[in-house]
Amino acid sequence: MELAIRNVRKEFERFAALHDVSLDIRSGELIALLGPSGSGKTTLLRLIAGLDFPTEGAILFGDEDASFKSVQERNVGFVFQHYALFRHMTVAENIGFGLKVRPAATRPSKAEIRRRASELLDLVQLSGLENRYPNQLSGGQRQRVALARALAIEPRVLLLDEPFGALDAQVRRELRRWLREIHDRTGHTTVFVTHDQEEALELADRVVVMSQGRIEQVGTADEVYDTPNSPFVYSFIGESSSLSVRIENGQIWLDDRATGLLAEGAPNGKAALYFRPHDVELLEGGAGIVGTVVASRRVAGTKHVELQIGGAQHRVEIEVPATHSAASAGRIAFRPTRWRLFSDAGPIPYQAAPAPSVAYAPAPRLQVVAS
Amino acid sequence: MSDTAIALRSAVSPVTETRAVRTTLIALSVVVMVLFLIAPLIAVFAQALNLGLKPALATFDDPDAIAAIKLTLLVAAIAVPCNLVFGIAAAWCIAKYRFRGRALLVSLIDLPFSVSPVVAGLVYVLLLGPFTPIGAWFLEDFGVRIIFAVPGVILATIFVTFPFIARELIPLMQDQGTGDEEAALSLGASGWQTFFYVTLPNVKWALLYGVLLCNARAMGEFGAVAVISGKLRGETVTMPLQIEIYYQEFRALAQVSAFTLAAVLACLALVTLMVKTWLEWRYADQLAATRSGH
């Protein structure tokens, strides 16, 4: 089932939770809505489900306008952060609930409902727990039951609201892999909400980065990580450093020093330079950006060095090899190898850095890639 | 020696008081309980059986007493279901929705608690009496008397016992939120299915307590009913009123009748308590499940 969200706006008592959001979701894709709390991601999910209705705009299920259809008519599977299992029903009854409440004409027989429930329990790897009550299950098991219950109604779309938010880190990682497997096996179009970027980048085919009721960027894990299109995405996903710089005739200046970075065709004026701490090369001599080491900490195989540049105005963090001598004190000169400029008006077309004279090649980093 | 002292001290939980304090506190509560709860109950039965079993049983030969018992049961049988419906509806609105005037509704529900029952009865008399527009309309068009008649007694009882069920349900329903209902709806359940399969089972214990409290109060209500009923013997007199009538008669036999009826009322209350305790014992596992569900 393809979904399309067209210019949706949602207000709660004059407070706008979503401003003019548009998004196309492909059939069979696993897509993540990622953002900090208050970014409107859960609101968007609830609008898709029909648990809330848009103030403006439309939500399409395939070609059909579902904007004002009730949640029952939309036939979506919804998984809640706090499971919302029916506590007075057994696991099997919980899973069979969606079938039991169907009108008599389409309701399967009791035996059939029971068979479907145990089939789904197999799928979520909880066979044998049919007669347990929710309070006799662990958090991870409860969320599996909740998913089985949502799948039981053969939904057109599967929607998950921070499905692993209430679980501890270990269980979370396991369930993440398991959800991916279930998705690949069942092929449902799946939308899930998370504030955990690692979860989104690892699990989803595409990630929708949201902030303050707007979609900032939509793309694969690689795209949002490697080519963030706004300062927000740069700083929200992964680590980043920024410097306020000045562009003059295609050259980037930091205070009164040329950084050696070129921004051909960029308009003159102030801008913000963003780069990842590991996308830097160290330079000998006085070229590039020079900073004084303020602090350094060891992170796994590398050292993170905090630099103060040009008085107290700028602080950035860069990554250097653990063995680097200047890491503990003194001055370091560096140049970002991948970077991006943002002016107040928006991003400036992406500029490749001049062919670097590699002083040191950054240690190969483990990159999370969605398969 | 000092070692054992340390061991003993460390065995005592830091939140436990010393033996002397504990004994005093327990003794105090036992005394209060006996004095204020158990002694009156015994006194009621003792007074009822003061002249032996026969005079006590003779109470039930008095048609007024039988009428009072019947009326009390009738009033409870109507008032409790009414308040069951009103209470659930009010609690549902308040706990699951946000709307204008919600705070006002919450205070309104408490009104019967804060208003003296006598005042409540008087208000109904002033509002629905035969010489008021509403009362006259009922009397002329339908031939129904409300004040100094059974409908008035029922109305007053409904008013006085209104908060019990709603008050019991509101905090629980608020605590449970709307997550379960949303889950049921997303699985395709209709509004009524959601209510009967999900909402109601989630609150059934609170509902039971509410009904028991409401019932006890409905049978025992005196003030409002006294004002509104006109105390017509054999017609609008409920058990508490009949008890008072007997008690005012200053005949030895009437005294016995008063306490016999009081004993019946007390027994009804005791039975309710026993039913509640039995249900709690019988469904202990279910109760535990609904309480620690999340």
Domain-embedded: residue B256: yes
Question: Residue A214 — φ and ψ, nearest 5°?
Answer: -130, 155
Domain-embedded: residue B3: no
pLDDT tens for chain B, residues 1 to 294: 455 555 555 566 777 788 889 999 999 999 999 999 899 999 999 988 988 888 888 889 999 999 999 999 999 999 999 999 999 999 998 988 888 888 898 888 889 989 899 998 998 888 888 788 887 788 777 877 888 889 999 999 999 999 999 999 999 999 888 899 999 999 999 999 999 999 999 998 889 989 998 998 999 999 999 999 888 888 889 999 999 999 998 888 888 999 999 999 999 888 888 888 888 888 877 777 665 444
Q: Indicate whether B119 and B247 sit together in one domain.
A: yes
- Mean pLDDT (chain A) is 86
Contact yes or no for B294 and A51 at CB 8 A: no
Q: What is the reported pLDDT for A369?
A: 39
Q: Give the residue on A whose Cα is nearest the Cα of B183.
A: A84
A66 reaches B (C-beta below 8 A): no
Q: Which of B193, B201, B294 sits opposite A101 (nearest CB)?
A: B193
Q: Indicate whether B39 and B169 sit together in one domain.
A: no
Residue A250 C-alpha from the chain's centroid: 34
Q: Give the residue on A whose Cα is nearest the Cα of B98.
A: A13
Class of residue A339 by CB neighbours under 10 A (exposed 0-12, middle 13-18, buried 19+):
buried
pLDDT in tens, A2-44: 999 999 999 988 888 999 999 999 999 999 999 999 899 999 9
CA of B236 vs chain A CAs: smallest distance (Å)? 44
- The H or E element spanning position B40 is helix B39-48
Q: Give the residue on B whose Cα is nearest the Cα of A93.
A: B197
Q: Give the residue on A whose Cα is nearest the Cα of B198.
A: A86
> What domains appear along chain A, each with residue ranges and CATH number?
3-231 (3.40.50.300), 241-347 (2.40.50.140)
Residue A57 corresponds to which tokens in the numbers above?
Answer: 């705009």
Cα-Cα-Cα-Cα torsion A169, A175, A180, A184, nearest 10 degrees, comes to: 180
Nearest one of B267, B270, B264, B268 to B65, comparing CA atoms: B264
B99 reaches A (C-beta below 8 A): no
Chain B from 173 to 212: CB within 8 A of any A CB = 179-180, 182-190, 193, 197-198, 201-202
Q: Indicate whether B177 and B210 sit together in one domain.
A: yes
Which residues of chain B have a CB within 8 Å of the CB of A78? 182-183, 186
Domain-embedded: residue B263: yes
**Contact of B90 with B102, CB cutoff 8 Å:** no
Rounded to whole angstroms, the Cα distance separating A211 from A219 reads 15
CA of B79 vs chain A CAs: smallest distance (Å)? 29
Domain-embedded: residue B179: yes
Q: Count contacts between A and B (CB, < 8 Å).
A: 78
Could you tell me how many residues make up chain B? 294
Residue A40 corresponds to which tokens in the numbers above?
Answer: 């409107």
Nearest one of A107, A188, A178, A122 to A151, comparing CA atoms: A188
In a mutational test of the A interface, the residue from B186, B190, B195, B283 whose CB has the highest number of chain A CBs within 10 Å is B186
A86 reaches B (C-beta below 8 A): yes
Q: Indicate whether B124 and B250 sit together in one domain.
A: yes
Domain-embedded: residue B115: yes
A295 reaches B (C-beta below 8 A): no
In a mutational test of the B interface, the residue from A87, A102, A151 whose CB has the highest number of chain B CBs within 10 Å is A87
Q: Indicate whether B41 and B158 sit together in one domain.
A: no
Give ∠ CA A31-A75-B200 in degrees, rounded to 5: 115
Residue partners of A213: CB distance under 8 A and separation at least 6: A16, A17, A18, A19, A21, A39, A40, A43
Q: First CA to last CA across chain A, in angstroms? A: 21
**Which amino acid makes up residue A189?**
T
Contact yes or no for A71 and B185 at CB 8 A: yes
Q: Indicate whether B28 and B66 sit together in one domain.
A: no
**Contact of A160 with A192, CB cutoff 8 Å:** yes
**Contact of A202 with A176, CB cutoff 8 Å:** yes
Domain-embedded: residue B10: no
Which residues of chain B have a CB within 8 Å of the CB of A101? 184, 187-190, 193, 197
Q: What is the reported pLDDT for A167?
A: 85
pLDDT in tens, A42-69: 999 999 999 999 999 999 999 999 998 9
pLDDT classification of A349: cutoffs 50, 70, 90: low
- The H or E element spanning position A342 is strand A339-343
Q: Indicate whether B29 and B155 sit together in one domain.
A: no
Q: Indicate whether B137 and B24 sit together in one domain.
A: no
Contact yes or no for A135 and B289 at CB 8 A: yes
Q: Between these two residues, A176 and A362, which has the higher pLDDT value? A: A176
Which residues of chain B have a CB within 8 Å of the CB of A49? 186
**Contact of A193 with A203, CB cutoff 8 Å:** no
Nearest one of A127, A154, A52, A1 to B187, comparing CA atoms: A154
Contact yes or no for A82 and B294 at CB 8 A: yes
Q: Which of B182, B186, B289 sits opposite A87 (nearest CB)?
A: B289
Other CB atoms within a 10 A radius of the CB of residue A198 amount to 14
Q: Indicate whether B122 and B162 sit together in one domain.
A: yes
Residue B6 corresponds to which tokens in the numbers above?
Answer: 């340390």
Q: How far is CA A320 from CA A237, A302, A351, B291, in A?
A: 21, 6, 23, 54
CA of B291 vs chain A CAs: smallest distance (Å)? 9
**3-state SS string over A224-250?**
HHHCCCCHHHHHHCCCCEEEEEEEECC
**Contact of B272 with B216, CB cutoff 8 Å:** yes
Q: Which of A49, A75, A86 sits opposite B180 (nearest CB)?
A: A86
Q: Indicate whether B216 and B262 sit together in one domain.
A: yes
Rg over CA atoms, chain B: 25
Q: If you average pLDDT over each of A29-33, A121-125, A245-249, which comes out highest? A: A29-33
Q: Angle of helix B150-176 relative to helix B200-220, nearest 10 degrees?
A: 150
Task: Please tell me the total count of domains within chain B.
Answer: 2
Domain-embedded: residue B11: no
Residue A133 C-alpha from the chain's centroid: 33
Q: Which of B184, B289, B294 sits opposite A88 (nearest CB)?
A: B289
CATH of the domain at B156: 1.10.3720.10
The mean pLDDT value for A215-219 works out to 94
Q: Indicate whether B177 and B38 sit together in one domain.
A: no
Q: What is the reported pLDDT for B289?
A: 66
Domain-embedded: residue B275: yes
Judged against a pLDDT cut of 60, whether residue A251 lies above it is answered with yes
Q: Give the residue on A whose Cα is nearest the Cα of B194.
A: A101
Contact yes or no for B188 and A98 at CB 8 A: yes
Q: Give the residue on A whose Cα is nearest the Cα of B199.
A: A86
A153 reaches B (C-beta below 8 A): yes
In which region does residue A113 sit, left (phi positive, over 0), alpha (psi from -120 to 50) or beta (all else)?
Answer: alpha
Q: Which of A70, A80, A88 sits opposite B183 (nearest CB)?
A: A80
B244 reaches A (C-beta below 8 A): no
Contact yes or no for A75 and B184 at CB 8 A: no
Cα-Cα-Cα-Cα torsion B199, B201, B205, B208, nearest 10 degrees, comes to: 90
Rounded to whole angstroms, the Cα distance separating B244 from B119 reads 19
Q: What is the reported pLDDT for B128?
A: 85
Q: What is the reported pLDDT for A339?
A: 87
Q: Indicate whether B136 and B33 sit together in one domain.
A: no
**Which amino acid makes up residue B186?**
S
Contact yes or no for B188 and A153 at CB 8 A: yes
Q: What is the reported pLDDT for A148?
A: 94
Cα-Cα-Cα-Cα torsion B201, B204, B206, B211, nearest 10 degrees, comes to: 150
Which residues of chain B have a CB within 8 Å of the CB of A156? none
Class of residue A28 by CB neighbours under 10 A (exposed 0-12, middle 13-18, buried 19+):
middle
CA of A181 vs chain B CAs: smallest distance (Å)? 23
Judged against a pLDDT cut of 50, whether residue A94 lies above it is answered with yes
**Which amino acid makes up residue A210?**
M
Q: Give the residue on B whose Cα is nearest the Cα of A166.
A: B294
Contact yes or no for B184 and A101 at CB 8 A: yes
Residue B31, domain extent: 17-48
A76 reaches B (C-beta below 8 A): yes
CA of A16 vs chain B CAs: smallest distance (Å)? 18
Nearest one of A197, A143, A230 to A33, comparing CA atoms: A197
Q: What are the beta bridge partners of residue A280?
A: A336
Rounded to whole angstroms, the Cα distance separating B34 from B37 reads 6
